[in-house]
Chains A and B, each alone.
Chain A
Amino acid sequence: MSEPVLSVENLSLRYRVAGGAVAALRNVSLSVRQGEVLGIAGESGCGKSSLAAAMIDLAGANAEVTAGAIRLRGQDILRLDQAARRRLRGREIAMVFQDPMTAFNPVLTVGAQLVDFQFNLDGVPGREKRARARDMLARVGLSDPDLVMGRYPHELSGGMRQRAAIAAALLMRPAVLIADEPTTALDVTMEAQIIHLLRELRAQYGCAIVIVTHHLGVIAELCDRVAVMYAGEVVEEAPVDELFHDPRHPYTRALIACDPARIGKATGRLPAIGGRLPDLSDPPPGCAFAARCGIATDRCRTVPPPRVAPGADRGVLCHEAAP
């Protein structure tokens, strides 16, 4: 199996807030290989967006990495200086955000911005940068790239904007593309088209793709491997088929069980996960999910759970999940 392009090793990150700190990521390890689509799933507040932001070094001024490493082709990017990190961003690791309206500058045309994004390319004439931008817009399925080049972001529909944002991210042929909820703001018909596009681009460019989403349907349609996060930890990691057909962590099971799309019989009442996330300014001593878990024992509430490996390429953070 090929070496990982990007790997996160035992990463812990906290946000300084008034009166303390919030442990947003706790000892997170995962990796993505070339040509692979890794899904990061979980609910609001689980740390998935913090992880995505940390991967591209955009975690914000009040974020502090307390331990761990983020390696791009083996090199720890957290140990690079600011200028070197900045060179990686956009060129080696690119990002697509949930809301492409806020990702683009509203007062510049899409074409002007796509040319600007190539500032890293020294010695390439402007005309060629324009041609590259236009070509990339055509590749992401915009039928009239010349028209889109001259448009302002607000003049495009949501789906067209998201395609343009994907084009912008791919302009520099990054090794890793990170997409944070890339289809959440879109209609289901456009969501299907963006999923289709990401699949095509993976096949065409062979870049590694990391998809952050709370939508299990998107994970199932698009990903090869999945990491499920809860309260700042990766609680389960598995190949996509095994995650959906043989989930081991009680949280993964609960998450899959309450997806209305999974429930075949129409029912007026849906299963829910009772309780709420633990307070991450003071994480519980044992398993973070214990308070909401149906099979938790006293040990779960007091002793941190071990990471067990129920199969090849799998990991579960649970006392009760049999290996």
Chain B
Amino acid sequence: MTALLSVRDLAVDLPLGRWFGGGARALNILAGVTMDLQPGRTLGLVGESGSGKTTLARAILGLQPVSGGTLRFDGAELRRSADFRAIRRRTALMFQDATASLSPRMTVGEAVTEPFVIHGIRIASRRGKAAELLAEVGLPAEMAARYPHELSGGQARRVGVARALALKPSLVIADEPTAGLDVSVQAEILNLMADLKDRHGLSYLVITHNLALVRHVADRIAVLYLGRLVETGPTRAIFAGPGHPYTRSLIAAEPKPDPRQRRTDLAIRGEIPGILRRPPGCEFHTRCPVARDICRSAAPALHDLGPGHSVRCHFPETTSKGG
């Protein structure tokens, strides 16, 4: 089966001005990112703030110039901006802050039908289309007359989903789709996304740092650290036996909603280093509990751990069960 989205060895650099360090230089943000998203599946993109998740999503949509590697959508390579424009009708983005992503001066009805205007697609009735899209996400048609500030967090999310669905995309990129929502509302949004996926055969790229969430929604996971893909594989395999020490730390750091499973030690200390101070060798060595000399000097390559499961580490642990 052709992957809907195929990313090979993708790199993104930001050009830096001359004054920044003498000669003209570029700051490397992403490198060596390789992953596939099959049609009808969900890929979870995981990592801390500053790991490059959002930059990767922007690069996939053509909103961020790529400096190396290839991107394919439905088999066709994306190179020029015209290629990206062509696929933009088949991709949609759900933004992290649902309320802020809606124009405060546009009604819900205008917002959900705006994609048709942007792409110059004629529709019989904007009002009818708005009602149809709102019904799809479980909102009453009267909601079309409301403004974003009149919506609850959960309603704003639903409007974001309706807007993303307007052009019947094949790929929906959801940036932290449930951040800031209460657990019960979070469940409603995730269930809605699952229903729509089944109904329309959507594929999702879910960007999140919420591991409990990706465990339930994603078929596969890609873990990023400081712009490098450190582990990728089937969700079940990664949770059963995370290969990268970073993945293990992330899983262990998640607070467990059971006081009998309290952790007294810290799984990971410190913060992700800034991209201006990218550590040599393996980027994770400064926080890694098992780093050795080679990790400080040589960048590790991707190793296979199992079917479709690979990890970028000098000492991948295949025996660990959940950390």
B250 and A221 within 8 A (CB)? no
Residues on B with C-beta less than 8 A from A262 are 257-258
Number of A-B residue pairs, CB cutoff 8 Å, is 127
Seen from chain B, the residues whose Cβ lies within 8 Å of a Cβ on chain A are 48-49, 153, 180, 182-188, 190-191, 194, 209-213, 215-217, 235-236, 239, 249-250, 253-263, 266-269, 271
A191 and B255 within 8 A (CB)? yes
22 cross-chain CB contacts under 8 A: A44-B153, A157-B271, A159-B271, A188-B209, A189-B249, A214-B182, A217-B254, A220-B258, A221-B255, A221-B262, A240-B259, A241-B260, A244-B260, A256-B257, A259-B183, A260-B186, A261-B212, A261-B255, A261-B257, A266-B235, A268-B194, A270-B191
B271 and A190 within 8 A (CB)? yes
Residues on B with C-beta less than 8 A from A218 are 255
A272 at the interface (CB under 8 A from B): yes
A127 at the interface (CB under 8 A from B): no
B255 and A196 within 8 A (CB)? no
Residues on A with C-beta less than 8 A from B212 are 259-261
Residues 189-230 of A at the B interface (beta carbon under 8 Å): 189-193, 195-196, 214-221, 223
B215 and A260 within 8 A (CB)? yes
Residues on A with C-beta less than 8 A from B263 are 192, 221
Residues on B with C-beta less than 8 A from A195 are 255
Residues on A with C-beta less than 8 A from B253 are 188-189, 191-192
Residues on A with C-beta less than 8 A from B210 are 188
Residues 127-183 of A at the B interface (beta carbon under 8 Å): 157-160
Nearest CB on A from B43, distance (A):
15
Q: State the CA gap A273–B188 with chains docked (Å).
A: 8
A217 and B257 within 8 A (CB)? yes
Residues on B with C-beta less than 8 A from A271 are 187
A241 and B259 within 8 A (CB)? yes
A189 and B268 within 8 A (CB)? yes
A261 and B254 within 8 A (CB)? yes
Q: State the CA gap A193–B271 with chains docked (Å).
A: 10
**CB nearest neighbor in A for B49:** A187
Q: State the CA gap A159–B271 with chains docked (Å).
A: 8
B259 and A192 within 8 A (CB)? no
Between A219, A254, A266, the greatest number of chain B beta carbons within 10 A of the residue's beta carbon is seen for A266
B258 and A272 within 8 A (CB)? no
B216 and A263 within 8 A (CB)? yes
Residues on B with C-beta less than 8 A from A62 are none
Task: Give which listed residue, A158, A196, A258, contacts B187 with CB less than 8 A.
Answer: A258
Residues on A with C-beta less than 8 A from B239 are 266
A220 touching B255 in the complex, CB below 8 Å, given contacts A187-B48, A261-B212, A267-B216: yes
